[in-house]
């Protein structure tokens, strides 16, 4: 006999487990179904373990290239690649166990298996071998099955030489030559990690710059740093025609600005984006609409075209970000419960890339603001002029603020440099509160801090910057 729940959550990533916990807090009898450890790609193979890897690379780069600058000396600093990977896996394991505990604490049932719709309100759960485990009935179902790396025929993944981000996190040894196909956040972060540890890294990007969704000045700053400090070769406006693997090596044939080019590599990373996990969960069984690899939903309620069936997170399409999935999950569950809740503001989503220098942004780029018809007032302050950045030895980058000239409204913010991914939250709050340039300028920022650069950028937009 099938167990009955108020809510069944299919998938346990940042959308799924957050939905389940919030439902438990609100008194809904809830079950979350996932065949793997809770946390999804983010906690198991993405956000969290990659940051552990990047921290190791950042520390090694500082020790080997900059220790003398700080009056420190070391004899033959080195690294144990296997231990770097092991620490990352340990961090992931410990945090996913914490999530499992949180789910239990909030009285949410946990089923380890693969769920599939066999009716509008019924899910069949099978084990890793496809054997039936149990049937679950639920008044409401939230699909939060996430996404996986997108692949293309030109870059056939074998998971040993031509790999996805998952395999790139657990390579058995440091590759001498590492080629990254795709220069979004995932590609750029792995490029930094391997280059900082000593791999010869080449980035291949089809667009005309790396981090193409970021402000052009942010992209240029990172590209300059990668070339100067890490020796990374960056090929933009380049199209991969074919990648092949043979005898433990890879060959990448591409066209770069009209010229044919061939790259040899020990490992090639396919980092061209992700696609939603919409297959094999029975969506067609109940008639849920899917378009271009994403479940169609009403972004106010996250309901699909089928009553009482909802979807959140990467499976409903961009932006493919863990924090977006979590906020969608909370909004969805609160709507199911009948609570008043603020909708997710998709115009105020922070984007972060955790290489060095870090990149963070929220709101419109300069180009998008101009396309939208705004007359702009732009303030920019370089960390080169920041006392705290000087003391830290992290003087790369800048803060760039984009204001509507007529009303002073903050339209977008872009930071490149140390702790950019932490600093961006101030600008997200500012946009939420519809803060203008004067308010940012008149807010007293502690000295010395990196955040003073935000205040100075607002001042510079008005011709009032003190330290430049």
What is the DSSP track for 239-255?
EEEEEEEETTEEEEEEE
The answer to whether residues 214 and 351 touch, using CB atoms and an 8 Å cutoff, is yes
pLDDT, one tens digit per residue, over 329-384 is 999 999 999 999 889 999 999 999 999 999 999 999 999 999 999 999 999 999 99
d(CA 164, CA 158): 9
Give the residue-averaged pLDDT of 98-114: 97
**What ranges make up the beta strands (E) of 64-211?**
109-111, 114-119, 122-126, 132-143, 147-149, 162-163, 177-181, 200-204
Distances (CA, A) of 317 to 121, 274, 292, 420: 24, 9, 9, 26
pLDDT, one tens digit per residue, over 290-307 is 999 999 999 999 999 999
Position 408 scores a pLDDT of 96
Q: Is 447 a catalytic residue?
A: yes
Would you place residue 404 in the very low, low, confident or very high pLDDT band (cuts 50, 70, 90)? Answer: very high
Residue 89: count of CB within 10 angstroms of its CB: 16
Give the residue-averaged pLDDT of 209-224: 98
Give the residue-averaged pLDDT of 166-182: 98
Does the pLDDT value for residue 94 go beyond 80?
Answer: yes
- Helix H or strand E encompassing 438: helix 437-442
d(CA 126, CA 134): 7
Position 1 scores a pLDDT of 62
Strands 410-417 and 398-404: antiparallel
pLDDT, one tens digit per residue, over 278-287 is 999 999 999 9
Does the pLDDT value for residue 184 go beyond 90?
Answer: yes
d(CA 55, CA 90): 14
Residue 406: count of CB within 10 angstroms of its CB: 10
pLDDT, one tens digit per residue, over 121-165 is 999 999 998 999 999 999 999 999 999 999 999 999 999 999 999
Placement of tokens 């100075």 in the chain: 456
* Structure token pair of residue 55: 């921290």
Strand partners, 240: 254
pLDDT, one tens digit per residue, over 232-252 is 999 999 999 999 999 999 999
Position 341 scores a pLDDT of 86
d(CA 178, CA 199): 6
Please provide the average confidence, as pLDDT, over all residues in the chain: 97
Percent of the chain residues topping a pLDDT of 70:
100
Give the residue-averaged pLDDT of 311-318: 98
Distance between start and end Cα atoms, the chain: 72
Position 342 scores a pLDDT of 87
Distances (CA, A) of 156 to 70, 245, 263, 291, 374: 45, 9, 16, 24, 44
d(CA 24, CA 160): 41
d(CA 296, CA 311): 8
Distances (CA, A) of 152 to 243, 279, 280, 342, 353: 10, 18, 21, 38, 24
* Phi, psi of 26, deg, nearest 5: -90, 5
d(CA 17, CA 39): 7
d(CA 65, CA 360): 25
Position 2 scores a pLDDT of 75
Percent of the chain residues topping a pLDDT of 90:
97
- Exposure string of 346-383, with b = 16+ CB inside 10 Å and e = fewer, is eeebbbbbbbbbbbbbbbbbbeebeeeebebbbbbbbb
Would you place residue 208 in the very low, low, confident or very high pLDDT band (cuts 50, 70, 90)? Answer: very high
Give the residue-averaged pLDDT of 393-402: 97
* Structure token pair of residue 237: 């406006």
Q: Find the catalytic residue in 323, 341, 398, 447.
A: 447
Does the pLDDT value for residue 190 go beyond 80?
Answer: yes
């Amino acid at each position: 006999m099938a167990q009955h729940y108020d809510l069944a959550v299919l998938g346990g990533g940042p959308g799924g487990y957050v939905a389940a916990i919030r439902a438990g807090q609100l008194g809904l009898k809830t079950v979350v179904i996932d065949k793997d450890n809770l946390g999804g790609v983010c906690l198991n193979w993405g956000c969290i373990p990659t940051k552990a890897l990047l921290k190791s690379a950042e520390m090694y780069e500082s020790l080997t290239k900059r220790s003398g600058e700080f009056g420190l000396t070391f004899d033959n600093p080195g690294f144990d690649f296997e231990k770097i990977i092991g620490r990352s896996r340990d961090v992931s394991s410990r945090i996913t166990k914490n999530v499992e505990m949180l789910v239990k604490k909030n009285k949410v049932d946990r089923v380890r298996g693969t769920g599939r719709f066999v009716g509008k309100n019924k899910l069949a759960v099978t084990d890793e071998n496809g054997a039936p485990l149990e049937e679950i009935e639920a008044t409401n179902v939230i699909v939060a099955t996430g996404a996986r790396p997108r692949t293309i025929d030109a870059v056939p993944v074998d998971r040993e030489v031509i790999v996805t981000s998952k395999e790139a996190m657990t390579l058995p040894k440091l590759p001498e030559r590492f080629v990254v196909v795709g220069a979004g956040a995932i590609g750029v972060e792995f490029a930094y990690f391997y280059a900082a540890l000593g791999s010869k890294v080449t980035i291949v990007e089809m667009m005309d710059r790396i981090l193409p969704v970021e402000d052009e000045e942010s992209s240029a700053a990172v590209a300059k740093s990668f070339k100067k400090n890490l020796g990374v070769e960056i090929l933009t406006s380049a199209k991969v025609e074919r990648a092949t693997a043979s005898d433990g090596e890879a060959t990448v044939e591409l066209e770069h600005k009209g010229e044919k080019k061939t790259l040899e590599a020990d490992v090639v990373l396919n980092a061209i984006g992700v696609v939603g996990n919409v297959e094999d969960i029975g969506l067609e069984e109940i008639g849920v609409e899917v378009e271009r690899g994403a479940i169609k939903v009403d972004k106010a309620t996250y309901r699909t075209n089928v009553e009482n069936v909802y979807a959140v997170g990467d499976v409903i399409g961009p932006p493919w970000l863990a924090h977006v999935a979590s906020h969608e999950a909370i909004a969805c569950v609160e709507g199911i419960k009948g609570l008043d809740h603020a909708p997710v503001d998709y115009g105020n989503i922070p984007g972060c890339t955790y290489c060095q220098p870090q990149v963070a942004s929220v709101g419109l780029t300069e180009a998008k603001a101009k396309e939208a018809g705004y007359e702009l007032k732009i303030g920019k302050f370089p960390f080169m002029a920041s006392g705290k950045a000087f003391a830290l030895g992290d003087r790369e980058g800048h803060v760039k603020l984009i204001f509507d000239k007529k009303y002073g409204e903050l339209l977008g913010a872009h930071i490149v440099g140390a702790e950019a991914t932490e600093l961006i939250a101030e600008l997200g709050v500012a946009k939420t509160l519809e803060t203008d340039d004067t308010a940012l300028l008149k807010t007293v920022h502690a000295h010395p801090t990196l955040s003073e650069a935000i205040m100075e950028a607002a001042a510079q937009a008005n011709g009032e910057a003190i330290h430049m």
